[in-house]
Chain A
């Protein structure tokens, strides 16, 4: 019988297609005390490298998975337990976990949910959902991103909610036509996906441009929106790294794109070859170049390096009818974290050790902020 004070640390599921991960290095050792959010291990998948953070506090009593071996998603890689748990009990639990890893990755295809398509004003908008019960949460990515930007968050949030992520027009596998490139066109897609899901009420989480889009969607139909969580949103001040935006739109090669994408992160080593290759493959799809340049016109004032988007007025006009949380990485080099002050009436969460992508660099902190925002609204 397993001692229920033993908490297994599981191989995370980063993205709907992930079936196994490989530990490239342990940050902790047996005997270390960890707090929630502490880094445990560096993990690599065929898509991305990331750092697993502790979801529970305690003492790391056993490390099960070796560096370099493939571990199936949800396989136990370490055990956290208080000092009172006996070594025998831990050894038994570790042996069971070891057998799970040795059994290998199940053969059946990754059972991720099917990608759905909504027709919004003649545009095909793709989205994918995870989770069976609870509140509807819709994740809205930023400029140049796609629904996979949420790979560290969608599955964890889906433990308690029905979590959807969409590809905005011009992005991912959605239609590449962005019309006039206005935030309004993108907000249409968000509301269209909510219609397609059949959600009468939803919580919106928007990153960067997606933050301004979420605000615009909420302004159109505030009663439908349970809460807004804005991650480094655009539209709350004039200052923005226009060089980043133009550099991203204009980059044609891996060599040009890599340093640009590096500006998104506090830790540039997260920008692997695969990350750059995936972005380049997206940028080379027919219509994407035009879409990104059209959207630039909505993000920046003409002949200027200042933001054109205004989300601050819309948030103020909501007048607290929709609770707003704003999350910002302290080391954001795209939009300064100081603009969090301009989000009227919001709960503010500043995340250390993160740049413009806190949901990728410090997912546990962002998840906690989203869960708290949903809990407050219910």
Chain B
């Protein structure tokens, strides 16, 4: 696995390979083709950050530019999925998902259940999340906890190029609606990715670093911030185990609990707001099912309960950083009754 490509290229490769493998896979969204689909537009954008670049010419008629009407095209994608296609719809920023909530949580998420398992909705909704790009309150939110709350949706947050390709491949092949979250700050991250196709199963957390003193449970971009903190802590002799959830629904409870039971100390790192979040969800899971093993209360490192600030210095303070994780780890290792 020697070849290194970026997170963006890994996503593009998954789309390319799945579209080549299965002609029912289509791509749709704002500027996914670019240039309003004008034939011969070789410089078409391929989405605002270029993830779908090159697909329009390679798969004629299967990459659709849509109007700026999220409620219409997300609804169309979900309808197409119930009728036999496998649409991959891109809704630029998850912040805009509100206008199509009925289509997602009241329709797509319910069909399999309400029709007794006879209906499937193999749609993937790709979207960008997260702060750090100076895009302010309406273009920087995480919001994945909202979707994790809904039974019937699968929620996926790849942290590496390898995971991005394998999880998107699985998302496209999956027969349920999948919310696929891509952090804006990860698109240029490079890493080893096999050239061949592969699918990573949902509900399997990845232990990205082993350690016996403290468990850090995290996801998405915060995996990298947590690894940076773990590296610093190792220099002080504290060995952290870093667990990347990879999918929040389904959730790999076993891996979280096994690590929590082994270390007895847990820090959850989540870029989302602190209330009703993945951080609270994991904290509750550990408190309920691994209580006997805990040596200290679970610590949470999250963004504050405020909108993402417009001011650059404030935004930098808003995003959890490695120092805050180091401090939280020191709190759980130093805790006494």
| Number of chain A residues whose Cβ lies closer than 8 Å to a Cβ of chain B | 15
- Please give me the residue from chain B that is nearest to A148 by CB atom: B1
Within the assembled complex, what's the spacing in Å between the Cα atoms of A61 and B210?
A: 35
Given the complex, which residues of A lie within 8 Å of B198, measured CB to CB? 281, 284-286
Given the complex, which residues of A lie within 8 Å of B201, measured CB to CB? 252-253
Q: Beta-carbon contacts of A250-269 to B below 8 Å, as 1s and 0s?
A: 00111100000000000000
* B97 contacts the other chain (CB 8 A): no
Q: Could you tell me if B1 and A284 are in contact, using CB atoms closer than 8 angstroms?
A: no
Known contacts A252-B201, A273-B207; A285/B196 CB under 8 A: yes
- Of residues 181 through 212 on chain B, the ones whose CB sits less than 8 Å from some CB of chain A are 194-201, 204, 207, 210
Q: Beta-carbon contacts of B303-337 to A below 8 Å, as 1s and 0s?
A: 00000000000000000000000000000000000
- Please give me the residue from chain A that is nearest to B194 by CB atom: A285
- Please give me the residue from chain B that is nearest to A17 by CB atom: B2
Given the complex, which residues of B lie within 8 Å of A115, measured CB to CB? 2
* A278 contacts the other chain (CB 8 A): yes
Within the assembled complex, what's the spacing in Å between the Cα atoms of A255 and B197?
A: 23
- Please give me the residue from chain B that is nearest to A115 by CB atom: B2
Given the complex, which residues of B lie within 8 Å of A17, measured CB to CB? 2
Name, among A17, A273, A284, A287, the residue most crowded by chain B CB atoms within 10 Å (CB to CB): A284
A84: min CB distance to chain B, Å? 43
- Please give me the residue from chain A that is nearest to B207 by CB atom: A273
Q: Could you tell me if B1 and A286 are in contact, using CB atoms closer than 8 angstroms?
A: no
Q: Beta-carbon contacts of B61-76 to A below 8 Å, as 1s and 0s?
A: 0000000000000000
* B46 contacts the other chain (CB 8 A): no
Given the complex, which residues of A lie within 8 Å of B210, measured CB to CB? 273
Given the complex, which residues of B lie within 8 Å of A281, measured CB to CB? 1, 162, 194, 198
Within the assembled complex, what's the spacing in Å between the Cα atoms of A285 and B162?
A: 12
- Please give me the residue from chain B that is nearest to A110 by CB atom: B2
- Of residues 281 through 296 on chain A, the ones whose CB sits less than 8 Å from some CB of chain B are 281, 284-287
Within the assembled complex, what's the spacing in Å between the Cα atoms of A278 and B200?
A: 13
- Please give me the residue from chain A that is nearest to B203 by CB atom: A253
Within the assembled complex, what's the spacing in Å between the Cα atoms of A285 and B207?
A: 20
Task: State which of B2, B195, B200, B207 has its C-beta within 8 Å of the C-beta of A284.
Answer: B200
Within the assembled complex, what's the spacing in Å between the Cα atoms of A286 and B198?
A: 5
Within the assembled complex, what's the spacing in Å between the Cα atoms of A286 and B162?
A: 15
Given the complex, which residues of A lie within 8 Å of B254, measured CB to CB? 255
* B166 contacts the other chain (CB 8 A): yes
A255: min CB distance to chain B, Å? 8
Q: Could you tell me if B2 and A285 are in contact, using CB atoms closer than 8 angstroms?
A: no
Name, among B1, B195, B200, B210, the residue most crowded by chain A CB atoms within 10 Å (CB to CB): B1
List chain B positions with a Cβ less than 8 A from chain A.
1-2, 162, 166, 194-201, 204, 207, 210, 254
19 A-B interface contacts by CB (under 8 A): A17-B2, A173-B194, A173-B196, A176-B196, A252-B201, A254-B204, A254-B207, A255-B254, A278-B1, A281-B1, A281-B198, A284-B166, A284-B198, A285-B197, A285-B198, A286-B196, A286-B198, A286-B199, A287-B196
Smallest CB-CB A-B distances: 10 pairs: A286-B197, A284-B198, A285-B198, A285-B196, A273-B210, A253-B204, A286-B196, A286-B198, A285-B194, A17-B2
